[in-house]
Amino acid sequence: MSTPTRINFWPDKQFGVAFLAAPFFWAALWWWSPPGLDGSWPWREAARFIAAALVYPVLEEIVFRAGLQAFLRRYARGRASWSGITLANLGASLAFVVAHLFTHDPLWAAATLLPSLVFGYFFERHDSLASPIALHVFYNAGYFWLFGH
C-alpha cells in the first residue's frame, strides 16, 4: 500500500452506498433484537461512547486491515477473490468475528462479518485505511448509540 492515508474515496459511488447502508444495517439489527432505547447515554458516558465509536474502530482497522489483511494479501492465495472479496479479506474478517466473541454474544459477533467484509473491500479498493476507518466509525457510532448502553 503506497498511500495508506489517502482520503479520495468520497466520490466513489460504491463507498456512498456502503455508507448509506449503515442505517439499514442498524434497522435489521433493531428488528432482530430490539433494544431498550436510551438515546442520551452517549452524553452521560461520553468516554465509553468515544472509545466504542472512534478509538476501537481505528485500532481494529489498523490490526485487521493494515496488519492481518495486508499480510495475507502478500500471498497469491490471499489475493484470490470471489465477487470482489479476497481470501485475505475473508480471513481478516473471520478473525474479526472471532475477536468480537470476547465482548459480544456469538450471534452479535457473527453479525460483524458482513460489515467487516465491506470494510476490507474498501481497504483494498482504495488502497487506504481512511475509507474503512470512516465506515467503521460511522457503523459503530450508530450501533453503540442504539445498542451500547
Least confident among 51-60, 64-73, 85-94, 102-111: 102-111
> What is the arithmetic mean of pLDDT over 72-85?
91
| Domains of the chain by residue range | 45-147
Residues of the chain by 3-state class (helix, strand, coil), percent to 5? 70, 5, 25
Mean pLDDT of the chain, nearest integer: 89
What pLDDT, in 10s, does the model give residues 14-73? 999 999 999 998 898 888 888 777 778 889 999 999 999 999 999 999 999 999 999 999
> Which positions ≥6 away from 99 have C-beta within 8 Å?
60, 64
Residue 4 and residue 129 in contact, taking contact as beta carbons nearer than 8 Å:
yes
Residue 80 and residue 91 in contact, taking contact as beta carbons nearer than 8 Å:
no
pTM equals: 0.87
> What is the arithmetic mean of pLDDT over 69-93?
94
Residues paired with 86 in a beta bridge: 81
How many residues does this entry show for the chain? 149
pLDDT score at 53: 95
